[in-house]
Amino acid sequence: MSTLYTQQGKNVRRTWFLMAMFLVIVVAVGYFISYYYGNPLILVIAVIFALVMNVASYWYSDKISLSMAHAVPADRDASPTQAELFRVVENLSITAGLPMPRLYIINDPAPNAFATGRDKNHAAVAVTSGLLGMMDKNELSGVLAHELSHIGNRDTLLQTVVVVLVGFIAIMANIFTRSMWLGGGRGRGRGNNNGEGEAGAIIAVVGIIFVILSPIIAQLIQLAISRKREFLADTDGALLTRYPEGLASALEKISAYGRPMATANNATAHLYISNPFGAGAVKGIAKLFMTHPPTEERIAILRGMGENRVGAIK
């Protein structure tokens, strides 16, 4: 069975691969835009921005994610619920063999939580005020064990890098499509004869399609990463607490709440333990673009783990 640390190496390799793919996509988009507008400087700027964003996503993605969530540092003396938060995280961190992460509070009645940070020594866990007020100790332990599992497996590095990189690709594509409607580039009709003109037109059409689809490609990469990571964190979190029912019950309460978070954002949605837009936000074809696996399936797997454990004891 999977343990807390089995995914560390894989996730580091996936992160470097993702950053390389991001560089390739940005350079390709930059090349086409520079061709379309007949300005090689655009490609140079795109490459520089890609390199800068790769560095920024590695070093500062945790700060960016916490800022987007409007998270503030937790205070052990602020309330009994925050004191309990510190006690639970300290005990779980010792059990998991992890340094104590920084703790943050999101002032939001919707129950939810996420972990962020490039490694276990620079990790942070943010929970909503609604989660602290709604969960009993076993449920809170299940949620926090799930988030610590993300830290132990270095999912946080992979997931928070995605926040910055996917967002930047979407911004690039949006700027180009808006400028294209406001004023055409020179690339579409380049060439001194019909053959060159036709080739330029074909390149322009292919490039436009690629630029428009690039945010969707980036989003699909994001979804493929986040869904699998949630199943693994559920399993590892249950192994850490040795009580799968705690997380299963917490997921039931989170799902039953239904209403979206005030700070819900597409760029950071995959970080949370549950969809921050609420269960009712995902309907029809939108299910194809879910950042999380179905809650019912996650609960069934966790309760199956609990039944197997009881059977083994008997």
Three-point CA angle 212, 264, 84, nearest 5°: 145
Q: Where are the alpha helices (DSSP H) in the chain?
A: 8-37, 41-68, 80-96, 129-134, 137-152, 155-182, 194-241, 244-257, 295-313
Closest CA relative to residue 50, chosen from 130, 165, 151 = 165
Closest CA relative to residue 240, chosen from 103, 148, 140, 120 = 148
Closest CA relative to residue 219, chosen from 303, 296, 274, 291 = 291
**Half-sphere exposure at residue 288, Cβ-oriented, CA atoms within 13 angstroms:** 4
Question: What is the per-residue DSSP string for 99-112?
Answer: PPPEEEEE--SS--
147 tagged catalytic: yes
Of the residues 84, 90, 147, 245, which is catalytic? 147
Contact between 212 and 173 under an 8 Å Cβ cutoff? The reply is yes
Contact between 244 and 305 under an 8 Å Cβ cutoff? The reply is yes
Closest CA relative to residue 115, chosen from 156, 145, 153 = 156
Which residues are known catalytic residues? 147
